[in-house]
Amino acid sequence: MTRLHDPEYRSFASDNYSGAHPEVLAAIAEANGGHQAAYGADAYTSRLQEVVKQHFGEAAEAFPVFNGTGANVTALTALMPRWGAVITANTAHINTDEGGAPERVSGLKLLTVPTPDGKLTPELIDREAWGWGDAHRVQPLAVSITQTTELGTLYSAEEIRAISDHAHSLGMRVHMDGARISNAAAALGSGLREFTTDAGVDILSFGGTKNGLLYGEAVVVLDPAAAEGLPYLRKLSMQLASKMRFVSAQLIALLSDDLWLVSARHSNAMAARLRTALERQIESGKISGLRFSQPTQSNAVFAALDNAAADRIRERVRFYDWSRQTGEVRWMTAFDTTEDDVDRFVAVITEELS
């Protein structure tokens, strides 16, 4: 097949724009050949369970799925009955970027809470945590947090523990959307278990696509009592892969030999490099009209600038608007972003804003 794209092109639009990590592609090739039982009864999915237990504890069980929306919808469906509701930040991916899938596919309701930084707290949860036993109000039965958040911010293990303890005291379960969980661990300098299993999270959507997988995520059940129907719900939600070995092989490659951590550390470092370089340009007076709107704690840089200037820059290097009303934009780095990529992007921004 003739290549249809320039493999040297880089953008700062999304870590989803990146290709697959060479070690992940090698794992897919290694898993190929011959026949293996379908629908998860294969050697690779069996091995994945062992790897997941190493990271999340002996009670953890992984259910590979196709994508992040599928992971979130399947996990949340498993947590509650049809009359249940999920309390989440108004900026959460399940609220803003999944096409209404949680409501339309699962039939659950999202109770959203405004937050300045994308993070929930016990006090913010209490704004919607009420009305149990009232037939006229949807029943709040779960809390969903995103790590890292859609605004690139980070929960500490202590913050997650406080949320879990509060939610559990009210009879609610806790779901974590971990689309960028590896970036969170890299930023926190911890393993995965410390701010998930040990912090009281019941069920996790483990992200791989944004950190070097070709495709595939996993629902990881941390408390077996929280999601007894997940084997059936995964099929019902159209997330059961027949050739599951190829999803599982990717996850094994990611979670073995610290590939997940090395890749996440690198993408975080590239975001920090981008922000630091632009701060220096601002301080030196070489550029004006640019400010940062969120702390850079992972692989996302949020900034605000004039829409016309953003449009000029985007003609040369692609990225997304976050809000045209406020002029906020999002610049994302990935496992394959290089220092040269960052430096060239800084040069473009400097040229347009000088």
Mean pLDDT of 154-162: 98
Query: Rounded CA gap, 81 and 76, in Å?
Result: 10
At 60 the pLDDT is 98
Mean pLDDT of 96-104: 94
Starting at the earlier edge strand, list the strands of the sheet with 61-65. 61-65, 217-221, 203-206, 173-178, 139-146, 84-89, 109-113
User: What pLDDT band is residue 341 in, cutting at 50, 70 and 90?
Assistant: very high
**Secondary structure (DSSP) of 235-286:** HHTT---TTTHHHHHHHHHHHSTTHHHHHHHHHHHHHHHHHHHHHHHHHTTS
- Residue 345 per-residue DSSP state: H
Q: Which of 227, 207, 229 is nearest to 218 (CA)?
A: 207
Q: Which residues contact 245 (CB under 8 A, 6 or more apart)?
A: 31, 36, 42, 43, 44, 45
Q: Could you give the angle at the alpha carbon of 120 between the alpha carbons of 118 and 123, nearest 5°?
A: 140
Alpha helices in the chain (DSSP H): 22-31, 43-56, 68-79, 93-96, 101-106, 122-125, 157-169, 181-188, 230-236, 245-255, 259-283, 307-314, 339-353
Bin 209: left if φ > 0, else alpha if -120 < ψ < 50, else beta. Answer: alpha
Q: Which domains does the chain have, with CATH numbers?
A: 21-257 (3.40.640.10), 260-353 (3.90.1150.10)
Asked if residues 61 and 222 have their Cβ atoms less than 8 Å apart, the reply is no
Q: Looking at the DSSP assignment, which residues form a beta bridge with residue 323?
A: 328
Q: Pairing state of beta strands 139-146 and 84-89?
A: parallel
Q: For 282-304, write each residue's pLDDT tens digit.
A: 999 999 999 999 999 999 999 99
At 227 the pLDDT is 87
Q: Looking at the DSSP assignment, which residues form a beta bridge with residue 219?
A: 63, 205
At 213 the pLDDT is 98
User: What pLDDT band is residue 228 in, cutting at 50, 70 and 90?
Assistant: confident
At 267 the pLDDT is 98
CA distances from 209 to 67, 78, 125, 129, 264 (A): 8, 22, 29, 33, 12
pTM beyond 0.75: the answer is yes
What is the distance of C-alpha 152 from the center of its chain? 10
CA distances from 279 to 276, 284, 351 (A): 5, 9, 15
Q: Could you give the angle at the alpha carbon of 268 between the alpha carbons of 263 and 273, nearest 5°?
A: 125
CB atoms within 10 A of CB 61: 19
Q: For 34-44, write each residue's pLDDT tens digit.
A: 999 999 999 99
Asked if residues 278 and 346 have their Cβ atoms less than 8 Å apart, the reply is yes
Q: For 250-283, write each residue's pLDDT tens digit.
A: 999 999 999 999 999 999 999 999 999 999 999 9
Is it the case that residue 152 has pLDDT exceeding 90? Answer: yes
Query: Rounded CA gap, 270 and 264, in Å?
Result: 10
